[in-house]
Structure 1
Amino acid sequence: MLTTSIDPHAAEARPRLLDTVDRVSEMCFGLFMALTFVGAVSAVAAPADAGRVMFHTALGCNLAWGLVDAVMYLVRTLTERGRKLSLVKAVRSASDPSEAIARLRDALSPPLRTLVADAELEAMRSRIARSTDWPEKPALRGQDFLAAAAIFGIVVLATFPVALPFIVIHEVPRALLVSRVLTIVMLFGAGIALGRHAGFGGWMAGVAMTVLGIALTVAIILLGG
């Protein structure tokens, strides 16, 4: 999907490393991964050291998947940046303005294609043609690595509210209760954040995210995750 502006400077001027959707998605990913181990503990007669083993296993899993997710974020960022740069080069090398406008329109998402007039695309084409500071090839920047580090940190930190009660509380049933309460609170908070970001009711979104999260966790456990 083509953004509203593909100016190279505007594209890099991000006020935050990750937007609300990214942060909530990564938090939920780490949360669900940890919940699969909590479900495993609750499904068997837990030995004395089950909580500690579960915590270390869940933490190790989220460390690994946090690293994978961070690396894939960098791959996705580099790929998207290369796709935009290829579009710019195609527009600049087009034989006539109509061909360049057609390329820009093809890059738009289907809902936007009928909303953006040729005059607006021509203005964008003119700005691209006049600009001389486009890079020769896509590259990652310092802010991209900071965002990847933030993704890694969010996934790993999501382990602790779910798994840490089994280290602090030695009675497994009570630790399970605390873990589940914290999980519900986190899912509810994630739903509120998404709801407010999308512009609709935060409380209803919180309830919906909680129900969805519980359903996903049950499905993950039943599927052997």
Structure 2
Amino acid sequence: MFAKTVIEAIDPQKNSITWNAIEGNLLDLYNSFVVITSSEHQWITYALVYEKKTEDTPEPLAILDYCIGVIKDTRHLLEVILPEFSKPELPHLPEIPALPTPKFPEIPKLELPTLSRPTLPHLPEIPALPKPKLFPEIPKPELPTLSRPALPHLPEISALPKPKLFPEIPNPELPTLSRPELPHLPEIPALPTPKFPEIPNPELPTLSRPALPHLPENFSFA
């Protein structure tokens, strides 16, 4: 399948390129065919945007396989091959002789004199100070004994009569009502029982069972 394409757009920010088919037998099957490629880190994405001329037109799987093959063939271009560097040879350094261990002169141990405990001077005994009296003693006053005063004699108060707030209302005598006599209604004669004509039971014909056709022994339903 042949197709001539032109680059329509390049987006450096998205690392995408858009190709549009303008000639070739690819346009015999599709009204338009656009391929959009984009890359991010180590991933490459192919997007096929097309419009079929008829519903019987197949999907462009062959073109998709071709795009996958192109990615596999150019994979080695994405890999960075670092050159191999040889280990540099260091210059020969002379051996450094070991330094002798320094000897320090011995410092004699100083003998410290033994100090005796000094004798403290005799101090006279200090007499105990009397406890100071902050407040003078107040003598307890003698209170006079009070006698219970005699209460005056009160006259006896007679019980007050219970006041009548509301006057007594006599119960009114209600008249005795007699039951009214109902008017005499004439007796309603009983209705006769209706008689319906007897309906004879129809005699149904006796149906015989139809005879089934004879089937061979090796007969089976498909």
Normalising by structure 1, what TM-score? 0.20
- The structure that is helix-richer by fraction is 1
- Which structure has the larger Rg over C-alpha atoms? 2
Normalising by structure 2, what TM-score? 0.20
Q: Which has the higher contact order (CA 8 A, sep 6+)?
A: 1
